[in-house]
Structure 1
Amino acid sequence: MTAAKGFLAAGVHAGIRSSQADLAVVRSLAPAVGAALFTRNRVQAAPLMVSKAHLAEADPQAVVINSGVANAATGVRGELDAVATAAEAARLLGLAAEEVLVLSTGVIGVPLPLEKVTAGLALAVPALSVDGGADAATAIMTTDTKPKQAVVARDGFIVGGMAKGAGMIHPELATMLAVLTTDYPLAADEADSFLRPAVDVSFNRISVDGECSTNDAVVLLANGAGGCARDDVSFAAALREVCADLGAQIVADGEGATVLIEIEIAGAASEADATAIARRIATSPLVKTAAFGRDANWGRVLAAAGSAPSNGGFAKL
């Protein structure tokens, strides 16, 4: 999480949960640019709406994530609490409120205990360090059984990240959060163009239970502190690799999961068709039960593939 130059992180116990660390902060020391992608669920949590507004105003320099409470379906109070969280973090970090993104994960419909979050921020900000990545990755866990981090080093730059997710996992971005950091140099208007395709071939192609959540987000912060020459092809590949690694960790840690399946489609008429077929297979209860029972019942795979919304191409089978 903090392998890239110029990034600090911390994870602390704010008291939102009974004993587990539940508040994480990630901060770039060098001026950063950033982008974020959010769940397509039409019910969106308050922190997502606030973070979207902040992204429209400024480049993100820090991310605050709490676990235990989703701050979703909490009305006006929820939005005010998310705004207050960003404002307090900004005050402690010496940033503008719009430079702080806020994310939450946990139980839907429960108000954010703002006083605990505020107290937690007072602990987390002084604890920020280059060694804080593991603590931050632990603090964002909910039903996860293990923290999830990944890092890829290339000649002159590093891409790192952390993620959480184990249940309510299904494209497009379902109960999962990820923060990606890099010291590769990007212009303010470039971050989204690199993040979007990387997410599309990784986080948006995983599924555990077919359920889509209200809180999910992937955030990319890039501060250019590595000082390397531009090699956009290498950077794009490294970003995809980190996203794919984190996505695989999420699926492997799925609630109740005992089997990890990777689906590869060949010979489809288009990438869109291939994706549709793969998703249909991945979400088939019959395919899942066959995999759980270690039963190589390929007929179930074929039946699922044939029911996908695609242009066919099955006549040769």
Structure 2
Amino acid sequence: MNFPQGFRAGAVAAGLKSSGALDLTIIENFGPTSSCAAVFTSNKVVAAPVTWTKQILKGGAIRSVVLNSGGANACTGPQGFADTHLTAETVANALGISSSEVAVCSTGLIGELLPMHKMLAGIQSICLSLSVDSLDSSARAIMTTDTKPKISSKEILGSTFTGIAKGAGMLAPALATMLSVVMTDAVVDEKHLQEIFTRVCNRTFNRIDSDGCTSTNDTVILMASGSSGVQISDSNLEQTLMEVCGSLATQLIGDAEGHTKIVSIEVINAGSEDDAVAVGRACARNNLLKCALFGGDPNWGRILAALGTADADFDPADVDVSLNQVMVSRSSGPGDDRNLVDLSGVNISILIDLKSGLHSATIYTNDLSHDYVEENSAYAT
């Protein structure tokens, strides 16, 4: 699988990871247009690369993105921001563009400065060997605790949309401990691009909630090169982005740290989409429920207890709950025998009927396992 037309990239093992794995990548848009949009973490504590990329986004053009794993460059003070600026300038000088057209993304351990001599040497090495067939390498270079690269691609009307993403923990709104770059060679209308991309991210990446934690570095960037010459309508743009980002989001939750279950929480007949999201998210963040799912215990009372904490309008005495297609609760009381529910498989579906309107939403989460606790108890050591 290659990049869309107008994009090329490279990746190296710069020595940011002790494992010696790929940890630095640069993606360049050399097409006739540099249309862009981006969505960032909602965390008030943000990494220097997030601050930098938010600033350059105001210029309306992104020609290149440099991404590293092996260090978040978050909570690193003025020196961390200076290092981000230097990173962008080094990439810009090597590619012959402005530093204000270079987005910077980092992921890894918080509170430590990046080894800039390794970063700068890696950048110089990459810029000498950019190619159109390095998509897999770029996807691997941004991995941290991920076990596999995340890539999604879709063709429509002679144009191509391709995205990469990373993230395996702290998967919660907004976004996750995730980085993602989505690229297209279509010609897009810039007028509504940011609005459309924000809406897409809200309905894909922001509908996964593995552990209720929000990172300092989350960044999702969209770049359009226009190299295919195909003009795409706003509706086709949104639909295609939903497919690509939806696939990436599904891959993220399927690779979440320590999980043994992949859980879909579908809320139907809500008074509003926001209500449906709130109820689904309340369940996704309930540790008692997640522990029950890990243990294969169809304890539907924990679902009702969790959804009752949501800031949403519904009749708490009239909610139906199904667990793997067994309606275990009718009108907030006992339903079919819970022993009919088989939770032995990897995939678990929870269906919640609020009976309050016509809106719906689905949140995806995982169980809470021993492996998740173990992996996150020693992340910095």
Q: Do both proteins adopt the same fold according to a TM-score greater than 0.5, normalized to the shorter chain?
A: yes
What residue number does 1:258 align with? Answer: 260
Q: Which has the higher strand share?
A: 2
Partner Cα distance (2:225, 2:2) in 1 = 12
Deviation digits for residues 67-121 of structure 1 (CA, Å, limit 9, x no counterpart): 1111011111000000000000011111100000001001111001111111001
Deviation digits for residues 152-195 of structure 1 (CA, Å, limit 9, x no counterpart): 11122111100000111110122111100011212334321221
What residue number does 2:337 align with? Answer: none
What residue number does 1:147 align with? Answer: 149
Task: From the superposition, tell whether residues 62 and 257 of structure 1 become closer, same or farther in structure 2 (CA, over 3 Å).
Answer: same
Which of 288, 291, 303 is the matching residue for 1:289? 291
Partner Cα distance (1:21, 1:229) in 2 = 35
Partner Cα distance (1:189, 1:60) in 2 = 16
1:118-267 → structure 2 map (5 Å cutoff): 118-267=120-269
* Offset of residue 14 of structure 1: 0.7
Letter in 1 for 2:217: N
Contact 1:151–1:158 (Cα < 8 Å) also in 2: yes
- Residue aligned with 1:95, SS: coil
Partner Cα distance (1:228, 1:118) in 2 = 37
Partner Cα distance (1:209, 1:268) in 2 = 24
What residue number does 2:13 align with? Answer: 13
Which of 99, 102, 108 is the matching residue for 1:100? 102
Partner Cα distance (2:97, 2:60) in 1 = 11
Partner Cα distance (1:142, 1:293) in 2 = 28
- Residue aligned with 1:162, SS: strand
What residue number does 1:84 align with? Answer: 86
Letter in 2 for 1:10: G
Q: How many residues align?
A: 317
Partner Cα distance (1:24, 1:230) in 2 = 29
Partner Cα distance (2:287, 2:131) in 1 = 44
Superposition TM-score, scaled by structure 2 size: 0.81
Contact 1:191–1:220 (Cα < 8 Å) also in 2: no
Partner Cα distance (2:148, 2:279) in 1 = 31
* Offset of residue 2 of structure 1: 4.2
Deviation digits for residues 231-259 of structure 1 (CA, Å, limit 9, x no counterpart): 32222111011111111111111110111
* Offset of residue 270 of structure 1: 0.6
Moved over 6 A (4+): none
* Offset of residue 217 of structure 1: 0.5
Contact 1:165–1:250 (Cα < 8 Å) also in 2: yes
Partner Cα distance (2:130, 2:265) in 1 = 40
- Residue aligned with 1:167, SS: coil
* Offset of residue 38 of structure 1: 0.8
Asked which structure has the greater RCO (Cα within 8 Å, sep 6+), the reply is: 1
Superposition TM-score, scaled by structure 1 size: 0.96
Deviation digits for residues 179-215 of structure 1 (CA, Å, limit 9, x no counterpart): 0001121233432122101100011111111111111
3-12 vs 136-145, which moves further: 3-12
- Residue aligned with 1:106, SS: coil
* Offset of residue 122 of structure 1: 1.1
Letter in 1 for 2:81: E
Partner Cα distance (2:316, 2:223) in 1 = 43
